[in-house]
Structure 1
Amino acid sequence: MRQFFLLFICVTFHSCQYFEKQVPSEKELLQKELKSINWKEVDEYPSLPDCDKIGDKKLRQQCFFEVMSNLIQEKLNVDTLSILYPELDTIEVKVTVFPNSTMKFEPQFPKDSVVYDTIKIDSILHARLVDFPKVNPAIKRGIPVKTQFILPVIIKAKEEK
């Protein structure tokens, strides 16, 4: 029995080294976690109250883009863009949704666009693209984040009577 006790104590003291493990530092863990995050995608896309009822993530995203495009088109169709620039049928608008639910709209013009008065179009867009419904910002790991996307907006020519 005594030999067993001595053997047990020897094994216990010598086996402690097997239980010791290198604990990574806080910085190493942080770097590893930051590398594992896909910064190009969000967990939840921005959403409008009309689209919040949809359960599927992809369908909610599609609903948001469709409703935003329609709202922008409605606001621009009451303006003189189609009269001033009848050849302009589509404008790409860069929409930025900030974490505090505010939005910013910027028209995107081709690099060689000297045909249009971009300053005039930009001022018309900024004057018209106001009073949107509240937008819930995109969510990444439970935190609201800024997102940007480009929406093609079709400018319908006014019908003549």
Structure 2
Amino acid sequence: MQRIRFLVVLMVFTSCELFISKERQMERRVNQELMAIDWDSVDQYPLFDNCDENVSKEIQKACFETTMLNHFAKAFSGLQFEVEQDMNDTIKVDFLIDEHGFITIRDIEENGEIMAVLPNIKQEITTRLNDLTTVAPAIKQGVPVGVSIRLPLILKTTE
């Protein structure tokens, strides 16, 4: 009789794992995988046509940044404002490059001093950056993902 009790007790302790549903086991594994992912970085940066996807991540980033800055410089070339006082300030523009590669302006930081001197600056920035080209989206674990970018625009008076 003792032998039977031992078997029953052993069976109760070892069979608990069998009652956990496969869905719950899968959910647990997925959660472990998600916790292991570094969500603050991408495996491949968004790429313009002139950037090579087969180079290192650092070179991809440099190509993306350089090309993006060239687009901005071209968009703002010839833009001038006349002001009565010296100015050396920065406006930050937030962009989203979505999982399809479309670039959109999310926000332009409000700066009271700049807005007082240049009330139409936000509209001018939006108008000039509205026609940005599309890019190949960023990649994270083989999946296209959206990324946010903050660009500081330095406004400085010159003689």
Q: What corresponds to 1:51 in structure 2?
A: 51
Which amino acid in 1 is paired with 2:68? M
Comparing 114-123 and 26-35, the one that deviates more: 114-123
Percent identical:
26
Structure 1 distance, partners of 2:50, 2:155, is: 24
Report the TM-score, using the length of structure 1 for normalisation: 0.69
Three-state SS of the structure 2 residue aligned to 1:101 is coil
Deviation at 1:62, TM superposition (A): 1.1
Q: What corresponds to 1:6 in structure 2?
A: none
Q: What corresponds to 2:4 in structure 1?
A: none
Deviations 1:82-140 (A, max 9, x none): 4358625643322210112111123334xxx3212276211111111133233111111
Deviation at 1:32, TM superposition (A): 0.8
Deviation at 1:70, TM superposition (A): 2.0
User: For the structure 1 residues 137 and 61, does the alpha-carbon distance in structure 2 shift closer, same or farther, using more than 3 Å as the test?
Assistant: same
Runs (4+) of structure 1 exceeding 4 A deviation are 154-158
User: For the structure 1 residues 40 and 119, does the alpha-carbon distance in structure 2 shift closer, same or farther, using more than 3 Å as the test?
Assistant: farther
User: For the structure 1 residues 143 and 54, does the alpha-carbon distance in structure 2 shift closer, same or farther, using more than 3 Å as the test?
Assistant: closer
Report if the CA contact (8 A) 2:88-2:156 is conserved. no
RMSD of the alignment, in Å?
Answer: 2.9
2:112 pairs with 1:114? yes
Structure 2 distance, partners of 1:140, 1:53, is: 14
Unaligned runs of 5+ in 2: 1-10
2:107 pairs with 1:133? no
Deviation at 1:48, TM superposition (A): 0.6
Higher RCO (CA 8 Å, separation ≥ 6 residues): 1
Structure 2 distance, partners of 1:126, 1:96, is: 14
Count of residues paired in the alignment: 136
Counterparts of 1:5-16 in structure 2 under 5 Å? none
2:30 pairs with 1:30? yes
Deviation at 1:154, TM superposition (A): 4.4
